[in-house]
Amino acid sequence: MQWKVLAGLRFFLAFIVFSYHLKDYVPDYGRDLFCQIGKLNGLAAVLGFLLVSGYSIAHSVSKEASGFYQRRIFRIYPLYLCAVLFSVSPFLFLGETLHLPDKEIYRSALGTVLGHFLFLQGFVIHPLSINLPFWTLSVEVACYLLAPVLVKLDDFKIAGLIVTSALFYVGFPSIYQTFYPQSPLPFYSAFSYTIPFGLFLWAWLVGFLIYRKKHLFQRTLLVGFGAALLLLNNQFIGKVGILTYLFSGIILMGSPYIPLPKFLGNLLNYLGNLSYPLYLFHVPTLVIAYLALGIRNSFSFILISFAVSMLFYHGVDVPFRFAKKKNSTAQNPA
């Protein structure tokens, strides 16, 4: 049941990110209930994702290192590839410039689109202008690539990597101001040259190390360490965002001990499966719904975003998972 609890947490965090962006498309969003959920902070939700991801990947690679990369590719790439193509589709029928209430979105260059197929955003290219949340995917994939190496390191070395990334995260605003004293710090998605990876590696590794630590006190120290970092560098987080991060850490630590009825566990597991396509597809879906369909109310945005997520989950993710399972069974009939 632990993984179903964490699946529910992933969905909750994905919905925070969705609500965080929803306010850009809903007039009078200050009075809208669903838009208020976004105040829990999208970046804090991403940090919660990284915690859960580090924990689950530590379990996966520790339990069965063989075939790890293949499992990850089947899990993330089919939906991701569809999301990249879906994200550029509005420019085909809405024009090269998309006019939204408070901003304009320009079509990204072909090289940027192609670079996304290799998760190069945040490393050598910027994320797609129409789907900025893609910046976090390159951080996660880089962590996946390192996981088989990290699992061989002892806890002391993992802690050293956490501290190195943490120091970079805490000191980054000052570093930026040193070089650009007249410019406010841009949001982290605006950076490349591996900067996002260096800034947020600590959050993923904290989850990775929590998996190894079986004592509640040690796990609590690790989550508290992350919260202290967010206090020291509060850019784009806010006090409520720190609470969101702490909530994610508490649920992660308590997930093995949370009893759930079977039906609720199954529901959370399904919602957890929807969390990834919801994260990938929600921004271009909001753009299309706003510009092409004329939608302006949050409930309709939610319905169409969930419909698109379910469409790609059942139409792409489930068949690929079935094919992978069938192939695995064929190779290991015993």
Q: Using 50, 70 and 90 to split pLDDT, how confident is the model at 147?
A: very high
pLDDT score, position 258: 87
pLDDT score, position 56: 96
pLDDT at 330 over 60: no
pLDDT at 325 over 70: no
Query: What is the chain's length?
Result: 334
Residue 196: half-sphere exposure toward Cβ, Cα within 13 Å: 32
pLDDT score, position 66: 87
pLDDT score, position 324: 66
pLDDT at 11 over 80: yes
pLDDT score, position 101: 82
pLDDT at 329 over 90: no
Please report, for residues 82, 133, 137, 227, the alpha-carbon distance to residue 124 in angstroms, rounded to integers and kept in the order given.
22, 16, 14, 30
Dist. CA 58–CA 18, nearest whole Å: 27
Write the pLDDT tens digit of every residue in 54-67. Answer: 999 999 999 988 88
- Amino acid identity, position 183: S
Residue 98, beta-bridge partner list = 105
Q: Mark out the alpha helices in 23-101 (DSSP H runs).
A: 33-37, 42-63, 68-88, 90-94
Q: Using 50, 70 and 90 to split pLDDT, how confident is the model at 30?
A: confident
Q: Using 50, 70 and 90 to split pLDDT, how confident is the model at 328?
A: low
CB 10 within 8 A of CB 140: no
Out of 49-58, 121-130, 315-324, pick the least confident.
315-324
Dist. CA 70–CA 7, nearest whole Å: 21
Ramachandran region, residue 49 (left: φ > 0; alpha: ψ -120 to 50; beta: rest): alpha
Burial of 281 (0-12, 13-18, 19+ CB in 10 A): buried
pLDDT score, position 282: 97
Q: Span 156-161, mean pLDDT?
A: 96
pLDDT score, position 113: 96
219: which 2 tokens?
A: 């796990």
Q: 244 Cβ partners below 8 Å, 6+ apart? A: 16, 40, 41, 44, 45, 48
Write the pLDDT tens digit of every residue in 291-308. Answer: 999 999 999 999 999 999
CB 301 within 8 A of CB 27: no
pLDDT score, position 102: 83
pLDDT at 323 over 90: no
Dist. CA 22–CA 153, nearest whole Å: 41
pLDDT score, position 333: 53
The residue assigned the tokens 């339990």 is 63
The residue assigned the tokens 């063989």 is 66
pLDDT score, position 2: 87
The residue assigned the tokens 């566990």 is 265
Question: Of the candidates 270, 323, 313, 280, which has an alpha carbon nearest to the alpha carbon of residue 3?
Answer: 270
Mean pLDDT of the chain: 93
Dist. CA 281–CA 85, nearest whole Å: 10
Write the pLDDT tens digit of every residue in 219-229. Answer: 999 999 999 99
- Amino acid identity, position 34: F
Instruction: Tell me the Cα Rg of the chain.
Output: 20
State what percent of residues in the chain have pLDDT above 90.
86
Write the pLDDT tens digit of every residue in 256-273. Answer: 888 889 999 999 999 999
C-alpha angle 219/211/148, rounded to 5°? 140
Instruction: Kindly report the three-state secondary structure assignment for every residue of 218-265.
Output: HHHHHHHHHHHHHHHCCCCCHHHHHHHHHHHHHHHHHHHHCCCCHHHH
Number of H helices, E strands in the chain: 14, 2
Cβ neighbours of 260 (radius 10 Å): 16
